[in-house]
Structure 1
Amino acid sequence: MTMIETSLADGTTVRITSPAPRAVWRTVFGRAPDAVATQAPEWMDALGTRGYRDASRLYELDDGRRLVLPLAARRVAGLTLTEESWPYGWGYGGLLAEGGGLTDADCRLVLDDLARRPAVLRAVVPMPLHGARWAAAAPGTVRRVPYTCQVVDLDGGFDTVWSTRFRRQARNSVRKAERFGLDVQREHAGMSHGRGLEMFAQLYAGAVDRWAAQRGQPLRIARLLAARRDRPGQLAAAAAALGDRCVIWSACHRGEPVAVNVVLQGARHAVGWLCAMQPELARETLATYLLHSLTISDACRAGVRHFHMGESETGSGAEHFKRYFGATPVEYAALRFERLPLSRAEQRLRAGYAAVSRRGLRRSEESGTR
């Protein structure tokens, strides 16, 4: 643990401690009204099982306020390569402000601190509803990676959401799904004999194979890449760390797995984190409509104010689907400080990968092997 003091431009002093003491982090998390589950210290425990180290930072201001930045580091041979809040695929990070009232000055303080850090990459992925504040505080040297998240306003409770925000398509589909007699379970890591983790792994493996066929990608390569990312292992680690805050919804039809939705539950915000499905059965039974309705209803009962349905490209089928449930788009940006042009390299890599996939898809279509 290291502790330093630094002076701000206005002359005030800030004491910075890293990693943030767990007891303090937990206290600040509990007193931050807009905290999301991915900002809990237990979330860092899940990242720890995947090779990341706790680099969280506690900021103690002259006026007694305390801020905590969840931060995960990746180190190789003693060199810190990345410090991110959070790494890609691990949800929203950003700042916890004890008592609430996150300010532009708070965000600026943290970004100035990260800009001085020695890591090759330093990044913040803020909770989308705070994105505008972070963007306003960001210096011109930061690289902005744009995203669009779909968020459902749960004000008024589920009856209001169902009647005024769900579209008729969603309500009708939920009613039809209920007539299929689907076997739906809600579970978390603290429950015994759960099926959700195993079902997710099975459905996700099927999705990897489908995506490979759609992209014209060799199946062996697709499976190797998926094994490297290891979404099922990531979910297992998160579920073990968060306990009943990681809720796994699953639906079966006549014993066959149909769909799984994973929701990270917080006091005011619920995050739809992961999902997987068997497309043919899902279309036949409309199970995804039922699961989304149940997860939103569950969040309303818990007093949640906003349900985050995750990122989707504007105009995509996923965004269109989320609009059926009253989701509205929220634009925000991940903020990155790079000592090397990593973003441009990533863009070129994606472009090259897409070109290879297109060529593979054309060859498979021409040969009739798709």
Structure 2
Amino acid sequence: MSPAPAPELAGVRVTSPAPRDVWAKAFAADPHAVATQSPQWADTLAARRGRVDASRLYELPDGRSLVLPLSGRQWAGVRVAEESWPYGWVYGGALSTDGPVTEQDAAIVLADLARRPVARTSLVPMPMTGAAWTAAADGLGVPVQRTPYYSQSVELTGGFAEVSGKRYRRQAHRSLKKATAAGLDVREYVGAEAGPAVDVFADLYALSIDRWAQAMGRPLPVARLHARLQDRAGHLRSVVRSMGDMCRMWTAHRAGEPVSVLAVLDHGAHSFGWLAAMNAKLSNETAAGYLLESTAIEVACAAGREWFHMGESAPGSAIERFKNSFGAVPVHYEALAIERLPVSAADRTARRAAEAVMARLPKRGEDQAK
């Protein structure tokens, strides 16, 4: 017997996969949309992870539409999970064709996901919309697993002069002076032109793997195998090919030798500092990580962005202090999951391992790849 319709779904028409033209319209219209909610990001996820497009279009009685970017995970041809997005693929959540997603909109989406015939559905919202999703989950009427997240974002109102002059802290100013004195060569790349920057990332990230393995007491062969399976550089290469000018990269070199690299995802009001890697010794000497982060913030200000998101942090870590030095404010939100079977243990284990690494890493200006 089919479950009784949820009251939130009365009069709502659901289509899956969501038509790409409607998805693109919602992505362009929603003021809180970020690059990782784009159809291009979903295509990259499908190509890299073998996922299927499970996106959902909700046509509401008042004429508005919601689009939920969603990927399906299959096993032996059977759909077992639907995620927006899987752990490590940053922000998902719904988009609206008319203004930001409301608590009522979130309730519609969650009520629909609660009825899906899969072992697990999950959603990691964009942090600025997290409160609406948490409130909607409170009234859902079914158990919802909640994973607390803590990210940091820099408000860009007032332009770069105000951001750097009033929000940057002493540590950032000192480090930027050091970077200027080091005579670094900073290079910018956009979209498909970023191939050389991806090569720099691959080399610097490989250096980091060995260093982290030593710091965490992990066998080096195991750490290298995990890195090959994760293939961050391959993921980045796919993104710069598919996402066009939504992906921007910077590298810093000293005397021709690469020191640091940063990848940023841009859309609408939001920039997101996504991936970074560096040569620990040279970065310590030059503060190149600070310079690239500040350069990305300055470019975001010039483009009229409202927020520069610096990603998840471990409270009390050096990475958190690095972000604080740019005036980043804390944003607390929750990832949500509805499970019929206990299949999320692996995701929770992966997240705990990532948090342990983040807590022990030095600040990004010295040595970090997100």
**Partner Cα distance (1:230, 1:120) in 2:** 27
**Partner Cα distance (2:85, 2:354) in 1:** 25
Provide the secondary structure at the position in 2 that maps to 1:110. helix
Aligned partners of 2:85 and 2:91 also within 8 Å: yes
Provide the secondary structure at the position in 2 that maps to 1:342. coil
Select which of 24, 29, 32 maps to 2:30: 32
CA pair 76-317 structure 1, distance change in 2 beyond 3 A: same
What TM-score do you get using the length of structure 1 for normalisation?
A: 0.90
Aligned length: 349
The corresponding residue for 1:133 is 132
The corresponding residue for 1:156 is 158
- 1:189 deviates by 2.6
- 1:344 deviates by 4.3
- 1:144 deviates by 0.5
**Partner Cα distance (2:231, 2:352) in 1:** 23
- 1:280 deviates by 1.1
Matched, 1:53 2:55: no
Aligned partners of 1:8 and 1:14 also within 8 Å: no
Matched, 1:201 2:202: yes
Aligned partners of 2:13 and 2:59 also within 8 Å: yes
CA pair 161-353 structure 1, distance change in 2 beyond 3 A: closer
What TM-score do you get using the length of structure 2 for normalisation?
A: 0.90
Alignment of 1:209-358 (within 5 A): 209-344=210-345, 347=348
The alignment-based identity, stated in percent, is: 51
Structure 1: runs of 5 or more not aligned = 1-5, 356-370
Code of the aligned partner of 1:37:
A
Code of the aligned partner of 1:156:
G
The corresponding residue for 1:110 is 109
**Partner Cα distance (1:125, 1:351) in 2:** 16
Provide the secondary structure at the position in 2 that maps to 1:100. coil
**Partner Cα distance (1:266, 1:41) in 2:** 13
Aligned partners of 2:14 and 2:56 also within 8 Å: yes
**Partner Cα distance (1:303, 1:80) in 2:** 41
The corresponding residue for 1:179 is 181
The corresponding residue for 2:145 is 143
Aligned partners of 2:81 and 2:120 also within 8 Å: yes
Backbone CA RMSD of aligned residues: 2.1
The corresponding residue for 2:359 is none
CA pair 22-315 structure 1, distance change in 2 beyond 3 A: same
Aligned partners of 1:86 and 1:93 also within 8 Å: yes
CA pair 352-100 structure 1, distance change in 2 beyond 3 A: closer
Larger Rg: 1
- 1:339 deviates by 2.0
Structure 2: runs of 5 or more not aligned = 357-370
Out of 247-256 and 303-312, give the one that drifted further. Answer: 247-256
CA pair 188-353 structure 1, distance change in 2 beyond 3 A: closer
